[in-house]
Structure 1
């Protein structure tokens, strides 16, 4: 049917009146994760200069905005990007070197020695590239890291277009990058200075744990984090042994109580694990507005125990999800797996199938994760003004048929391999499952070469 001159004129005027956008992404369902948990059928998101301009029905977005670049997925789900609140990215190259053992044995007999023999800046760069590739293909747009040579981690993360909250590790014995805690603290400050205003990188301070750092070092790390108004990140109460040892060494205090006594919770804080957490610990976490990175796969695989996540959530403590490192405590960076396991672990541990429903589990991977980082004004939901971090998840595979409830589908049915597109800071980094900012073949070749080096070092 031929358009009349009046229709063409109206169409032309409509296009002229539409505001310019850099990118428009549309999908069959848009899961916003805003305060009202709006889900928009046949929705779209308009993006410009790395920020979300508008979220709404596709027809309305198309009237209000025009863009030469579009991603249209009528059969997919569009959601905020997933937030991995705890991992050790470069340990991807140590994947599978030691499994099925207790944490302390795993660390002391395998991981620390393997790191001492193999970890250098080149290793960290290669491991970070591999990790970021896996995370992006699985829908993660922001990750929290704790490792060595964190400048190199930041550079590789930024090159890939990924968002990272990156903590320079501080530890009380010679590490691959810094040989003393004092040198690590000085290096951390340089790292904080370098990346303090970066749009993609949030530098942080990451003392490893209370059992690998002195009280003096922990206090200095806290002071440094406060000086730069950034996160203090550490492992806390991951195992029962850690709690028992803390009680013996620190006047019968749990790790949480000990950190509170040092003033280490006075400022922006993220604790990973918190498995062996008592009622008084939960009250302390609430008092200090501490965020929690819950790592269900890691806690299960290492036999660490079952965290009292429901107690924390009932106390309005922000709890996100983390994969932990992929070298024995989990082995992958799959946030879809973490959502599914978090919900099911809460149900079986409480013997109550109603706890941690799919809506809440998905929130932990998005907006609650952002809250745990103190970044919920910037990321975690699809709302105007926020940074444009989003993903589309295909429902084309049989595990995506039929869709009754979108949250049930995201948490219990769909997989990391169903992620189709990834947009971070308004730029596509994955499109139709093709990485646009990383070279998978080169990364795989490098991983094989370094695997052989690691294997040889363990003989």
Structure 2
């Protein structure tokens, strides 16, 4: 029989050793192992690593089965004799028809070292016992040391992998490149990664951190590109791309009264609006705009086309005093606006709004009715404000106040109002806008082209006004490229103030992202790359000659990048464009439809050259 304890070990020592494994039904409880290194030559470390992995090498499962069956510590001894197993409360062994090896363990009665005279059971024939003893491999022999090293190499990674948590499945991970978050800390990660699931951003972090936590259904490699929040255009008139180049080099009032209003009277229809919006949406997707604020006619057609394209829109149904294409009276326009609000108030991409055109195109009752409609439905109110010096002059002549002060005096301003332009304002006006929490859209290109004036951008920012950036309509710009708008905004601020530090690149980028979101009251949803916000983002290539070399990614985005450098556009977690290929609109069809409509516009309008 096997000895009950190793030679040289007292019974008192044996009684202090861990108790053998106990079998309880289908559950086997193994004795508590010694701390790593306590057993002979690291045997306990090997045994612990193998035992802790449920999917470890076959030796692990065999070891545990023998230990459970024999109620003892796990020890393996392999020889070339017939298969048998024997176990007592001391050293335990297992026999197989494989080359002999020996893995020691311990149990009650076992000492710190195994017995060198340990032998098979006494009933084994002497010649078998002698052959086994002559071929057995001692635990501290060179062969066994090599075996321990091999087993550690195999078992340790398995044990580690077995306890790693499962990665969360997500729809998309954008990985690589430089991630400009526009969060509160204005963090920039290079390289970075963005995990997206459904319509939301799940996490922004380093590629290794994201890869360790998430298993994406699709991976988008941003490579050497810049990843940033989708751009936000806080003021435009989308269908007016159909008037691009129709009448240029004119002052605003002449441009409006002699060309645009007459052209709209002859050409605006649901088809015109739908075709123009699809063309504008294509341009915005291709140039990185993911959200835009609009005011025009037949706004329900704009909403449908915007949703088809996959863009996000704050869309205002225009209310104006005189007859227009979709309403003959202000009352009819207000009724249309309310129907529009009710139709789209629960849409995931469309935020409906009411849009009184301007102070000079609406009387007091109409203005107040628009404000009341916005408050009743809790939707934005969009209005042109103090765009030209003529507008200020008219207000002073009629009301002896600035446009801003007059609207304050009649109770027009509400917290969800977005004022476009705000060029001709004084310090008192700015305080009114601040107190009423009005968002302002700065439109530098349109203001410069129409010679309308220069908005006091620095004063707005110093006062804490929520300031965004817009392109205005393509008829007065003449494009919808927000990168160009950023560049011109920065240059104009420096030129007007004679201060080269005015509106630096970082501030200009803010206007086109998180600043625009604040101006529209949407900063909790969009404007930055943060967990919990909508997955609206773009990737921008930095390979052009004009972008080389690159020292500061923000500087390059504002001062040298163009809309056609955008490679990918994502809105609400949906890829609208990848590698410059728009997925939601047929580019050839959209352009062909626009050209056919342009031929009719040309025939209907006498174009001044």
Give yes or no for contact 1:146–1:167 (8 Å, CA) kept in 2. Answer: yes
Give yes or no for contact 1:15–1:66 (8 Å, CA) kept in 2. Answer: no
TM-superposed CA distance for 1:129, in Å, is: 0.2
Give yes or no for contact 1:27–1:392 (8 Å, CA) kept in 2. Answer: no
Structure 1 counterpart SS, 2:531: coil
Aligned partner of 1:360 in structure 2 is 507
Aligned partner of 2:272 in structure 1 is 123
TM-superposed CA distance for 1:7, in Å, is: 9.5
Structure 2 counterpart SS, 1:429: strand
Distance verdict in 2 for CA 1:259–1:7, change over 3 Å: farther
TM-superposed CA distance for 1:96, in Å, is: 0.7
Whether 1:456 aligns to 2:603 is yes
Give yes or no for contact 2:263–2:605 (8 Å, CA) kept in 1. Answer: yes
Aligned partner of 1:282 in structure 2 is 430
Distance verdict in 2 for CA 1:218–1:13, change over 3 Å: farther
Aligned equivalents of 2:214 and 2:350: distance in 1?
A: 29
| Number of aligned positions between the proteins | 454
Aligned equivalents of 1:27 and 1:420: distance in 2?
A: 14
Whether 1:389 aligns to 2:536 is yes
What does 1:19-98 correspond to in 2, within 5 Å?
19-98=168-247
TM-superposed CA distance for 1:400, in Å, is: 2.1
What does 1:261-340 correspond to in 2, within 5 Å?
261-327=409-475, 329-340=476-487
TM-superposed CA distance for 1:440, in Å, is: 0.8
Distance verdict in 2 for CA 1:6–1:323, change over 3 Å: farther
* Higher RCO structure (Cα 8 Å, ≥6 apart): 1
Post-superposition CA distance 1:256-313 (Å, at most 9, x none) = 1111112111231100001111111000000100000000000000000111111111
Aligned partner of 1:167 in structure 2 is 316
Aligned equivalents of 1:399 and 1:11: distance in 2?
A: 49
Give yes or no for contact 2:386–2:423 (8 Å, CA) kept in 1. Answer: yes
Aligned equivalents of 1:7 and 1:270: distance in 2?
A: 62
Aligned equivalents of 1:10 and 1:163: distance in 2?
A: 48
Give yes or no for contact 1:291–1:319 (8 Å, CA) kept in 2. Answer: yes
Aligned equivalents of 1:145 and 1:10: distance in 2?
A: 59
Aligned equivalents of 1:9 and 1:174: distance in 2?
A: 77
Give yes or no for contact 2:368–2:412 (8 Å, CA) kept in 1. Answer: yes
- In our comparison, the structure showing a higher alpha carbon Rg is 2
Aligned partner of 2:563 in structure 1 is 416
TM-score of the aligned structures, taking structure 2 as reference length:
0.73
Aligned partner of 2:527 in structure 1 is 380
TM-superposed CA distance for 1:166, in Å, is: 0.2
Aligned equivalents of 2:331 and 2:154: distance in 1?
A: 75
TM-score of the aligned structures, taking structure 1 as reference length:
0.97
Structure 1 counterpart SS, 2:191: strand
What does 1:153-302 correspond to in 2, within 5 Å?
153-250=302-399, 252-302=400-450
Give yes or no for contact 1:14–1:63 (8 Å, CA) kept in 2. Answer: no
TM-superposed CA distance for 1:13, in Å, is: 6.0
Distance verdict in 2 for CA 1:256–1:136, change over 3 Å: same
Post-superposition CA distance 1:151-198 (Å, at most 9, x none) = 010001001110000000000111111111101101111111111111
RMSD over equivalenced CA pairs, Å: 1.5
TM-superposed CA distance for 1:399, in Å, is: 2.0
TM-superposed CA distance for 1:5, in Å, is: 7.5
Aligned partner of 2:17 in structure 1 is none
Give yes or no for contact 1:393–1:420 (8 Å, CA) kept in 2. Answer: yes
Aligned partner of 2:103 in structure 1 is none
Consecutive unaligned residues in structure 1, runs of 5 or more: none
What does 1:340-355 correspond to in 2, within 5 Å?
340-355=487-502
Aligned partner of 1:106 in structure 2 is 255
Distance verdict in 2 for CA 1:438–1:5, change over 3 Å: farther
Give yes or no for contact 2:414–2:438 (8 Å, CA) kept in 1. Answer: no
Give yes or no for contact 1:26–1:78 (8 Å, CA) kept in 2. Answer: no
Aligned equivalents of 1:370 and 1:236: distance in 2?
A: 19
Give yes or no for contact 2:169–2:217 (8 Å, CA) kept in 1. Answer: no
Aligned equivalents of 2:359 and 2:383: distance in 1?
A: 8
Give yes or no for contact 1:50–1:426 (8 Å, CA) kept in 2. Answer: yes
